[in-house]
Structure formats: C-alpha cells, structure tokens
Structure 1
C-alpha cells in the first residue's frame, strides 16, 4: 500500500486533477464528434431505406393493378369460350352452314385460343412481378426498420456522451474556481521545461618535454 507523503502540495494536486479532468473532457468531445458522424451516416442510411421501401411499395401497387387488368381479360376470354362451347375441327365441319361459315368459325377459335394463351402468359408474368415486388418491399421495410433502430442507438449514445461531457465541464469549472490566483496564472502560462546544462570539459594539461641535462665540464 502506497502512502502519500504528508508534505504533498495541495495546490499541485488540485492542478493535476484539473488537467486530468480537462483531458477527459477533450476525449469525450472527440468521442461525441465521432458519434455525430456515425449518427449522420445512420440517418442517411435510414432515409435511403425508407425511400427504397416507398419505391418498392409503389411497384407492388402498380403490379397489382397490372395483374388485375390481365385477370379481367382472362375472365372475359374464359367466359366467351364457355358460352361458345368447345368445338373441335370435326364438330365445326358438321355444324357449319357453309364453307365460309366453317372458315370464319375456325378463324374465330384460333384467334380466341391465341389471345387466351397470350393473356395467360402476361397474367403469369404480372403475377411473378407482383410477388417479386412484394418480397423486395418486405426486405426494404426490414432494412428501414434496422436503419431506424441503429440511428436510435447512436443517438442515445450521443446524448449519453453529451451528458457526460456536461458533468465533466461542471467538475472542471468547480475545480478551476477552487484554484488560487497564482495557480490560475501558472495554469494559463505554464513554465517552460528546464533544459539540462551541458558540462564543459576541462582542458587536459599538456606535458612538458624534458630536455636532457648537460654535464658540467663536458666538451
């Protein structure tokens, strides 16, 4: 267990707390900025998903109208065929009053058969398009719901960070107000860090050259 020294400076401790609170507030501000950008992206995705769903729903409505028109045509052709009776080639010959009547009857049957086949094909295609539009509409609705939920979650996170920042700012202000005038001045104008002085090298003394001594009387 580390025991704080009894001689710790309360002023330095207050300034250290203030600096730490300021740092935390800056981090929260950066987190809020990132959350705001994320929220903007989520809202744009939600708008795009809503537009896609509206377009898909309009396609569903148009496909249903198209399908209903083919349904009426198919019903009318089926009713006409039922009222006219199914007549094969032999029965047409036997019931025809004249060669021209036979030709006309066979021509009408051929046209009705062609129209029926064409209308049934169009009816089937319209039904497939309506079913596809329904599936796409359901998917886009789910995407829009997911985008809305994500946007709501990011918005809640942003609001939480805003509340956290407000608390931190209040604490920083309270801590700042507790500082003395000298502490506030020191905080506004921090002293520059001391640069260590380089030690000078002492010059190395040169050695004197020794000259050989001359003996007295030599020479």
Structure 2
C-alpha cells in the first residue's frame, strides 16, 4: 500500500506549531494563542463589501471595525507581517469572486515616509501572498504627505499626480490595505490608464464606515 501524501497545509500547520514553541504568537483578531490569525478569525473575517469610488469598482474583505480593524492595525503598526499570508489568500478570493483572475494585481506603493517608518510595503506583501499574478507597475513620484490626518479634499490634493506607471496593456486590479476616501485608488487608476492599462477594479482589506473620521484610520487611502 502506498503511503498517503501529506497535504501542504498539514506541513504548514506542523511548522507553525513548532515555531510557536520558540516564538509564541497570538491571533491578531481575538488574542487566541498559537497563530498569527486563528482559524476562527480566518473564517469569520470576510464580510465582502462592494463600494464605488467614482466609477472604480472596489471590493473589500470587511469594514474597518472590530476584529478587522485590530488585524489591520497589527499588520500596519505593530509589524505583524506574518498576517500577510492568510490575508493575501483572502484577497485572492475576492479577486476570483469578482471574475478578475485574468488581471494582474498591482499594489499601491507606499510613500517614502511610510516605507521608512514601517520598513515594508503592506499592499505589495498582501498581493504577493495571494498566489495571484502580481505586477509592480506603480511608483511614487514626488513627495506625498502622511494621509492619516488629512480630510477628504486634502487627501485628493495630496495624492494628485503622485503616481507614475510603467507602460503596459495588461488588465490590472489595484491592491491597497484600507480605503478611506478612495483618493489613492483613483490616483493609481489614473496613472495606470495613462500608461495603457485597463483597470478592471480594486481590492482592499477593509473600507471605512462613513461615520468614521479619517484621523481614526492608520494611513487609509
């Protein structure tokens, strides 16, 4: 009788158990020990939403509140980069559900200040952990202020003309972490279109409830 091959997921589970003995972790959503994001939160986190950003079709995993807000703050502010793998898979699910599998995921690049502060680019890490084709097409041009304390009009002015895209005709799905006003996503769309790409939509980890002020969000776009 031939031995039954172990599923890749089971090896990852065993490895996670071993690492937990050396470097204990806890779930960013519920504080349960043992995983960066526990199975319960992985199952309960997705509350897919659809928003329109001036004609751009935006899909998000959840509202920026509760467990979703805690998870995103842990990723963006606490350096919990291990969250990118489960979150990337969930984002890839949004792409498949929207029927955008033939498009390349194009992550929004962070400002130079945000990259210096964190040391990593959140949207790019999310995109690359989703097992979906990814293309680094955008780069920041000029100086962009920290968006966290800017209102809607200020954010629009702050990012205007801030991105430039490499030429290409591949269909694109823009990837970012949080959508607040949609200003960053629209600027990314403008740059990609001017470079020849067809932007079919955007995916984000979360979008903000309309009642929240922009100052409550860690760098929401």
TM-score, normalization by structure 1? 0.16
- Higher-Rg structure is 1
TM-score, normalization by structure 2? 0.16
Tell me which protein shows more strand as a share of its residues: 2
Which fold has the larger relative contact order, with Cα–Cα distance below 8 Å and residues 6 or more apart in sequence? Answer: 1
Tell me which protein shows more helix as a share of its residues: 1
